[in-house]
Amino acid sequence: MATSQANVFTVVSKFYDEYVTTTPQRLKIIDAYLAYIMLTGIFQFGYCLLVGTFPFNSFLSGFISCVASFVLGVCLRVQVNPQNRKDFLHISPERAFADFVFAHIILHLVVMNFIG
Amino acid sequence: MTVSGLQGKLSSTCPKTCPILPNLQKSKSKACCKRKTENKHPGCDRRPPASANTTYQDPPPKSRTIKMSTAVRGKLPWPLKMSYDKQDTLLKLFVLSIAAVLSFSTRLFSVLRFESVIHEFDPYFNYRTTWFLTEEGFYSFHNWFDDRAWYPLGRIIGGTIYPGLMVTSATLYHVLHFFNITIDIRNVCVFLAPLFSSLTTLVTYHLTKELKDVSSGLVAAAMIAAVPGYISRSVAGSYDNEGIAIFCMLLTYLLWIKAVKTGSLFWGAMCALAYFYMVSSWGGYVFLINLIPLHVLALMATGRFSHRIYVAYSAVYSLGTLLSMQISFVGFQPVQSSEHMAALGVFGLCQIHSFIDYLRAKLSKEYFEILFRTMALFVGTAVTGVGAVLMASGSILQLRCLNVSEHQPTTWSSFYCDLQMLVFMFPVGLYYCFCRLTDANIFIVIYGITSIYFAGVMVRLMLVLAPVMCILSGIGVSGILSTYMKNLDISKVQKKTKKTENYPIKNEVASVVIMMMSLFLITYTFHCTWVTSEAYSSPSIVLSARGGDGSRIIFDDFREAYYWLRHNTPEDAKVMSWWDYGYQITAMANRTILVDNNTWNNTHISRVGQAMASSEEHAYEIMRELDVNYVLVIFGGLTGYSSD
């Protein structure tokens, strides 16, 4: 068990090194943004566990806003990644970003309506 | 410049093979040069450049050129003088406009026979709420507490209806009035369902075009214009949720298929907006929110899960759920009730699947195994812990037994009556889908099979089955016709083909099959029109019968009674009747009632029933207690009214 645990840490560190060296700058920016959103979501959920779910619509609105922003960010990352070019033949990175902005406009309009 | 001169001039630049269709025979590639522009090769103008469509995998359509000189071409009628592109577009426009006009006009039987009046019972409630919306505005409508129904309890209308239908009619009404086309709100309500059926025809065309090709789309559009299963709930006057719900449902499916095929966030967001429109219009949206995750699961199971599906489903689920909670009647159900949990589960599964794919691509095999085992242990304990906590609080896994006693299972005769030829063309369409399985085809196969199950359980859900039957039958019919049309020998040119004969008398067999298909389609149309005219066009509020001498007698008793109440009773009079007539009394007589078709309070209904069934003295006491001024009773014994 000790060796496999050591292997897990080496795997993670190796993965981290490879990530830092091979990932393009654009994707690293998106990944930093995703990490920030994940932290925000965790804080919101923790706050809800502490204080309770009233008013439920505000909690849901804020939490789903985090989840949806995270997911849309992942979609943008997937579409912009040059390794996925053959999956998204008609979608240039500029078009992907424009779609991302459009989806976010809809998302934030609904969140503002729902937050009460 | 003569043709030969042109050829001589361009022979040095004439390609040996056609640049667009490289497999074309060398002799035909010279035809490239005879046209003035380089892309006008026979078949070129029908097919986009090869680089654009690798993800779509559409085969090139076979096109025939009939070689004719310019002199002959000049003598043709004007439709045949145009290029193939224009002829194509003209034909498509023509067929679609006829289908749209047909779908509108076939729903007008009762308007022509009687008058433009709202039918049945439920539509009267929708009509009254729409009228209130146009008069009072959206905020009053959203916060409306109705004290004229369910006396003395009242009803919160704003929070217990699906507002899509009313908002659509009110918007249409205001738009028309803005342009000074002053159509009365009653007429807007009566003709809304036929209008939306025309739009449904167009959406069905686009959906089938995405699933298969243009010719299937045209056949499916023509079929859904007339199918009785859909007409039954969307005749002129039947002002009910299903009239627009089917349009919204097919629009959501169309945008979902586009999102799956392109993998673009734009189409995913548009699909979420269409889903919001669907949620606002009908309670049957639950079918959609379970069908789309089922499709994603099927794609995962068949190994077709790709980045495109991830983008499409994540966008649709996250935006769609948030949007669906904006409707008051839906409330927090999308995150609490068991009917929506499948969608949440598949969403989680999508994230996990994508993350594992990403890791697998990054790491080597053994490292991935180690990491996977550790993470699986960790995630498994976390999920089990969270699940145990939630089950202990009892909030999520409440399975509700739906009481379906008011809806009967469907009989075979009902299937045939509502769908006729589509019943046996449906498996043909399934076969053609399985021939060339794509991500989109899997969706329609799943949709077809689940709808068949639900339509077998409840007659009312035949409505959900009708569009998918039309789509699959359209694919089937178009497939058959395309296969056999190729074998027809209509011109002498074809006799020179070098194809080997697979079987004898190809031409005769093809002609027989095509004549049979045409006969099927013709009898389908006759059947549909007959069923619409006889079975589905009765307004139920106006009845007619034949007198002894064959003349038509109209019974307008219902409306006479309601208008008597309206004119001869005080404003605050309370009327007691059985709950069937509640909506009609509030809409036409404008008096307070005790119970209506909403049937949300069975105790109150049983009180009214007790009053109706007791002796006069006892009933009088109950009525004094309930503060009743008038009693309305239907008696059909004299005329043989069937519901008495």
Mean pLDDT on B216-227: 93
pLDDT at B79: 67
pLDDT at B321 > cutoff 90: yes
pLDDT at B374: 75
**Could you report the per-residue pLDDT of B432-450, keeping only the tens digit for each?**
999 888 889 999 999 999 9
Judged by a CB distance cut-off of 8 A, whether residue A31 touches chain B is: no
Tokens for B591, please give them: 């008096």
Closest in B262, B269, B351 to A90, CB measured: B262
Q: Which string of b and e fits B281-305 if b means at least 16 CB within 10 Å?
A: bbebbbbbbbbbbbbbbbbeeeebb
Does residue A5 belong to any structural domain of this protein? Answer: no
Closest in B308, B326, B370 to A7, CB measured: B370
- On whether the CB atoms of residues B483 and B506 are closer than 8 A, the answer is no
Residues paired with residue B552 on neighbouring β-strands, in sequence order? B546
**Could you report the per-residue pLDDT of B128-186, keeping only the tens digit for each?**
999 999 999 999 999 988 888 888 888 888 888 999 999 999 999 999 999 999 999 99
pLDDT at B1: 41
pTM of the model: 0.84
**Does ipTM top 0.90?**
yes
Q: Which residues in chain B are classed under CATH 3.40.50.12610?
A: 553-631
Distance CA A45, CA A70 (A): 15
B315, closest residue in chain A (CA to CA): A72
Distance CA A97, CA A103 (A): 10
pLDDT at B569 > cutoff 50: yes
Single-letter residue type at B53: N
pLDDT at B43 > cutoff 80: no
Mean pLDDT on A29-46: 93
pLDDT averaged over every residue in chain B: 82
Does residue A49 belong to any structural domain of this protein? Answer: yes
Does residue A80 belong to any structural domain of this protein? Answer: yes
Give B642's pLDDT tier (boundaries 50, 70, 90): low
B553-631 topology per CATH: Rossmann fold (3.40.50)
SS3 category, B450:
helix
pLDDT averaged over every residue in chain A: 87
pLDDT at B606 > cutoff 60: yes
Tell me if A78 and B307 make a contact (CB, 8 A cut-off).
Answer: yes
Tell me if B318 and A67 make a contact (CB, 8 A cut-off).
Answer: yes
A23, closest residue in chain B (CA to CA): B362
A110, closest residue in chain B (CA to CA): B323
pLDDT at B384: 75
Longest dimension (CA), chain A: 53
Closest in A8, A71, A100 to B314, CB measured: A71
**Between these two residues, B29 and B432, which has the higher pLDDT value?**
B432
Closest in A8, A18, A78 to B311, CB measured: A78
Distance CA B437, CA B482 (A): 19
Closest in B318, B359, B371 to A71, CB measured: B318
pLDDT at B72: 63
What range defines the domain where residue A101 resides?
24-115
Give B31's pLDDT tier (boundaries 50, 70, 90): low
Give B254's pLDDT tier (boundaries 50, 70, 90): very high
Distance CA B226, CA B377 (A): 57
B218-227, B231-240, B634-643: least confident range: B634-643
Q: How far is CA B492 from the centre of its chain?
A: 45
Place of tokens 């609080």: B393
Tokens for B369, please give them: 């195994």
pLDDT at B55 > cutoff 90: no
**Chain A (85-104) residues lying within 8 Å, Cβ to Cβ, of chain B:** 87-91, 95-96, 98-100, 102-103
Tell me if A84 and B307 make a contact (CB, 8 A cut-off).
Answer: yes
pLDDT at A1 > cutoff 50: no
User: What phi and psi, each to the nearest 5 degrees, are found at residue B192?
Assistant: -70, -45
Judged by a CB distance cut-off of 8 A, whether residue B268 touches chain A is: yes
The structural domain count of chain A equals: 1
- On whether the CB atoms of residues B604 and B544 are closer than 8 A, the answer is no
**Could you report the per-residue pLDDT of B484-511, keeping only the tens digit for each?**
888 776 654 445 454 555 566 778 888 8
Side-chain half-sphere exposure of B156, counting CA atoms within 13 A: 6
pLDDT at B81: 73
pLDDT at B419: 86
Judged by a CB distance cut-off of 8 A, whether residue B526 touches chain A is: no
Cα-trace Rg, chain B: 30
User: In chain B, pLDDT over 70 holds for what percent of residues?
Assistant: 81
pLDDT at B26: 55
Strand order through the sheet with B574-576: B592-593, B574-576, B630-631
pLDDT at B153: 87
Q: How do strand B592-593 and strand B145-146 relate by DSSP bridges?
A: unpaired
